[in-house]
């Protein structure tokens, strides 16, 4: 078992990467002087992974939507007791989440991290499902799905994704539907568990007041070797074109909320990181409070301080989203389109570009002094197929021409959609 030191050429920060004999990738960042510890044990398995096969399988297996999230809920229960009770004894705060492309189990603590790490590694490797507990969970998650279906922010987001994506499962709620989770049974949960919770498909990241040798000793004791069975996930073919340009829904909201999104072409690894950085700078220049477009829309009362942007990307999907509250979202859509056209003709203001680039770089550097942010960076970058400090080097090399090229290639009016949730008419 070899320790590889990964070091940032930009800041000098470093972490340790170990490919453990069990098959698990382990990232450790010792942060002397910090009092807390953050650990995540994650699998590259999210809501979009509904179609998969192993190396020896002849056919793909298709599973119900929402099963990754369902499995996350069930893994916290074992034969003896609830995992949260175990964490309570060590003083740690435990949690978990399922996203579109990953599931992670985590804890944070300021003492007894070794005992908490043992709990984490132990319970995630010990599935215990019965049909009785599965039936009970279907009712609980069914209620959760109904509650999120009534959430306007959730609705405006997924309505936007359904305007964009024809076949990609990113358009489906992470928790699935009441109908889809009704198809889940204990046998299916075990099948998905042993497929995706193979240590060759998982990552452990831990940062803070720790010692690498102590972490690795616990890993040697608790990790169970897994054979790499050649997991392969696949998505339906997704065209570049959008499904529809706009969608309106009525919900009990005081002020209409909107999301305006560009469907960009899919990419992966370093290419996606470069595109994400260019997209982040481009969207920031459009929504920056000092920009002419922002000031004009604010002065006219079309936007308020809720107006902002984000990059939403993963396996098979990449979008640039603008959102907020407005009674006139179509005017915002038109203003964004016009401002992009102006920038493409005139070029970026180099002074504004450098200011936003430096601000973004500073934010990334500050996060390296946050234990939770570092632990998340280590696991996320591995699952994205890039190094933990690659974003710093990519951003430092980014030019205004790179941003313009991204805008020209990807922020195309024909791939623009608008989702609005508005209140009922008086």
pLDDT digits (tens, 9 = 90+) for 11-51: 999 999 999 999 999 999 999 999 999 999 999 999 999 99
The three-state secondary structure class of 243 is coil
Cβ-Cβ contacts under 8 Å for 115 (sequence gap 6 or more): 90
pLDDT tier at 423, thresholds 50, 70, 90: confident
What residue numbers bound the domain in which 191 lies?
A: 3-233
∠ CA 139-169-390, nearest 5°, is: 115
Q: What is d(CA 418, CA 322) in angstroms, rounded to the nearest whole number? A: 9
Could you tell me if residue 93 is inside a domain? yes
Count helices and strands (H / E) in the chain.
Answer: 15, 15
Could you tell me if residue 209 is inside a domain? yes
The stretch 151-155 carries a mean pLDDT of 94
Domain boundary residue, one of 202, 233, 264: 233
Is 22 in the same domain as 167?
yes
Q: Model confidence over 304-358: pLDDT tens digits?
A: 999 999 999 999 999 999 999 999 999 999 999 999 999 999 999 999 999 999 9
The total domain count for the chain is 2
What DSSP string describes 349-363?
-HHHHHHHHHHHHHH
Is the pTM higher than 0.75? The answer reads yes
> What residues are paired with 14 via a beta bridge?
7
The stretch 69-83 carries a mean pLDDT of 83
Could you tell me if residue 67 is inside a domain? yes
Could you tell me if residue 285 is inside a domain? yes
Is 189 in the same domain as 317?
no
Q: Model confidence over 270-316: pLDDT tens digits?
A: 999 999 999 999 999 999 998 899 999 999 999 999 999 999 999 99
pLDDT reported for residue 133: 87
pLDDT reported for residue 82: 82
Residue 56 burial by Cβ neighbours in a 10 Å radius (0-12, 13-18, 19+): exposed
Is 269 in the same domain as 298?
yes
Is 281 in the same domain as 323?
yes
Is 224 in the same domain as 254?
no
Is 161 in the same domain as 252?
no
pLDDT tier at 150, thresholds 50, 70, 90: confident
The enclosing domain of 126 has a CATH number of: 3.30.830.10
Nearest CA to 288 among 195, 389, 357? 357
pLDDT reported for residue 227: 92
pLDDT reported for residue 190: 95
Q: Model confidence over 160-210: pLDDT tens digits?
A: 999 999 999 999 999 999 999 999 999 999 999 999 999 999 999 999 999
The three-state secondary structure class of 262 is strand
Which sequence positions are flagged as catalytic?
72
């Amino acid at each position: 078992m070899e320790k590889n030191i990964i070091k940032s050429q930009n800041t000098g920060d470093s972490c340790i990467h170990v490919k453990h004999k069990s098959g698990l990738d382990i990232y450790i960042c010792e942060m002397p002087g910090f009092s807390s510890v953050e650990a995540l044990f994650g699998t590259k398995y999210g809501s979009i992974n509904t179609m998969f096969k192993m190396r020896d399988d002849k056919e793909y297996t298709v599973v119900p939507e929402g099963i990754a999230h369902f499995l996350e809920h069930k893994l916290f229960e074992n034969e003896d007791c609830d995992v949260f009770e175990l964490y309570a004894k060590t003083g740690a705060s435990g949690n978990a989440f399922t996203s579109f492309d990953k599931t992670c189990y985590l804890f944070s603590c300021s003492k007894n991290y070794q005992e908490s790490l043992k709990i984490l590694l132990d319970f995630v490797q010990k599935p215990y499902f019965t049909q009785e507990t599965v039936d009970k969970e279907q009712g609980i998650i069914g209620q959760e799905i109904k509650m999120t279906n009534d959430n306007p922010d959730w609705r405006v987001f997924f309505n936007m994704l359904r305007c964009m994506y024809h076949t990609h499962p990113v358009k489906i709620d992470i928790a699935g539907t009441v109908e889809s989770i009704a198809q889940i049974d204990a046998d299916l949960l075990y099948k998905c568990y042993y497929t995706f919770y193979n240590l060759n498909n998982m990552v452990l990241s831990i940062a803070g007041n720790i010692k690498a040798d102590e972490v690795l000793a616990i890993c040697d004791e608790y990790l169970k070797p897994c054979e790499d069975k050649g997991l392969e996930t696949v998505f339906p073919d997704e065209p570049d074109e959008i499904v529809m340009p706009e969608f309106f829904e009525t919900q009990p909201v005081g002020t209409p909320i909107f999301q305006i999104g560009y469907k960009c072409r899919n990419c992966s690894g370093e290419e996606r990181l470069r595109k994400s950085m260019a997209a982040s700078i481009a969207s920031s220049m459009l929504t920056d409070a000092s920009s002419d477009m922002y000031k004009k829309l604010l002065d006219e009362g079309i936007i308020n301080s809720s107006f902002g942007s984000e990059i939403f990307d993963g396996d098979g999907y990449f979008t640039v989203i603008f959102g907020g509250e407005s009674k006139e979202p179509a005017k915002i859509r038109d203003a964004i389109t016009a401002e992009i056209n102006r920038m493409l003709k005139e070029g970026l203001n180099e002074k504004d570009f450098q200011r936003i680039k430096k601000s973004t770089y500073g934010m990334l550097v500050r996060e390296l002094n946050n234990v939770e942010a570092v632990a998340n960076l280590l696991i996320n970058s591995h699952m994205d197929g890039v190094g933990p400090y690659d974003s710093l080097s990519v951003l430092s090399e980014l030019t205004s021409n790179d941003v313009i090229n991204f805008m020209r290639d990807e922020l195309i009016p024909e791939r623009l959609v608008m989702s609005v949730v508005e209140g009922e008419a008086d």
